Amino acid sequence: DGYFCINVLEGQAEVNGNWTPQEKALHEARLKAKAKRRLRKSSSRNSTSESFSESGEVAGGDPHSPKGKVNTNDRKSRTGKGRGLPKKGGAGGKGVWGAAGMVYEDEEPDIHDPNYDESYQGDTVYETVVPEIDEKELEKMVNPIVQEYFEHGDTKEVQMLLKELNLGQHKYEFSSLAVSLSLEGKASHRELTSRLLSDLSGKMLSQSEMGRAFDKMLKELPDLILDTPDAPQMLGQFIARAIADHVLHMSFLDCYKGKVDCEHARVALDRAAVLLSMKREMVRLDNVWGVGGGLRPVKHLIKEMNLLLKEYLISGDVSEAEHCLRDLEVPHFHHELVYEAVVMVLESKGDTATHMMMKLLQSFWKTGLITVDQMNRGFQRVYDELPEISLDVPHAHSIMETFVDLCYQESVITKQLRDACPSRGRKRFVSEGDGGMIKT
């Protein structure tokens, strides 16, 4: 009733145009309350919209206050309806798959997915795809494998490394590259290459691929002889060994009869034909490259070194002796040559053998063919066996001292090695005029 009376009074005052101070203050208070109610209703209907006053500032907040500014990075709900909890129960955020312990089930492909393809549906199999090696990169990849094989000689490791490479249609070129590298190496390298081809045949390379590789080698002979003049003969030995090891087909040579124009290729094929005709009864041409390096028996090496030294004493050719010693490929056994040379000096008559052997050891020392360790070891062996040698050679100690002094003067041995040379003490009985003293 009081509210109705006030309204009636205000209406009469508005009509009459007369406002009392109390009525005017009451009217302004009612207008402000009505505006606040309208502002709250509009903000609750649209949380994304903002109410601005006539001055352009956000209603209900101080633009200069940090609490009045809207923080766009705040994860709390700005609608006023949430409870202030973090989104996704704390399992969201950048780089996070979900809450701890959450298990995801397999999702069925969606037919309405634009990337859906019915023909590719089913079990997914993941495989490691190795790109095929380009022909230009093949040599860079194969050369280290072959060079390491020459050091360890393990064919199984080579097979394992080749399986990791995708040689593709250039697979046959591995054989030709291995043979080319062995032509520039030692006889032991060529023996290892023949064994490698034998082990790879039937496992990683077929007879047709091996034949294709040797056919390429025959065509490249004019270029190979520039670095290796004996390439035609060596390639012929490779072909003969490959046929004997069943790496190549028995009819490989028959395919070239009357069809070869290159002179070097004919030399290689003739060499292979001669070897096969001589070794027809043998299953394998195992000795086509000889037995290389440490694979030789010790007795055989000693015999070869004795023969080398005897031929040198006859011919006096130091370069030929050096060539023969290098061909033995046993740098760890060179102390045997030093031992045999010194023993020959002790057993020889005259000074000719002494000076020749000194000259030979001096040449081996200067060229680095015989190392300090091998030289010292050879002389030390003679020092240790000198008492036994003296039984057959009575003057062995004096000859040894003379030869050691000569080698030291020519810088063949060190001072420590010269001082280590044993000397036999000689006593003389008392003679007239010695004053009764025993001389040593």
pLDDT tens digit sequence for 146-162: 999 988 888 889 888 88
User: Residue 383: pLDDT above 90?
Assistant: yes
Residue 55, pLDDT score? 45
pLDDT, averaged across the chain = 79
User: Residue 211: pLDDT above 80?
Assistant: yes
Residue bearing the bigger pLDDT, 265 or 46: 265
pLDDT tens digit sequence for 256-293: 887 888 899 999 999 888 888 875 544 456 667 765 55
Rounded Cα distance, 401 and 423, in Å: 8
Mean pLDDT of 311-337: 88
With H, G, I as helix, E, B as strand and everything else as coil, classify residue 52: strand
Helices (H) and strands (E) in the chain, counts: 17, 0
User: Residue 10: pLDDT above 60?
Assistant: no
- In DSSP terms, 205 is beta-bridged to 201
User: Residue 118: pLDDT above 80?
Assistant: no
Of 169, 167, 189, 171, nearest in space to 179 by CA: 189
Percent of the chain exceeding pLDDT 90 equals 22
**Domains of the chain with CATH codes:** 135-287 (1.25.40.180), 298-420 (1.25.40.180)
Residue 53, pLDDT score? 46
Distance of CA 337 to the CA centre of its chain: 37
339 pLDDT tier (thresholds 50, 70, 90): very high
User: Residue 60: pLDDT above 50?
Assistant: no
355 pLDDT tier (thresholds 50, 70, 90): very high
Q: Output phi, psi for 144, to 5 deg.
A: -65, -35
User: Residue 124: pLDDT above 80?
Assistant: no
178 pLDDT tier (thresholds 50, 70, 90): very high
pLDDT tens digit sequence for 181-205: 999 888 888 888 998 999 988 888 8
Instruction: Please calculate the CA angle 378-418-359 and round it to the nearest 5 degrees.
Output: 65
User: Residue 244: pLDDT above 90?
Assistant: no
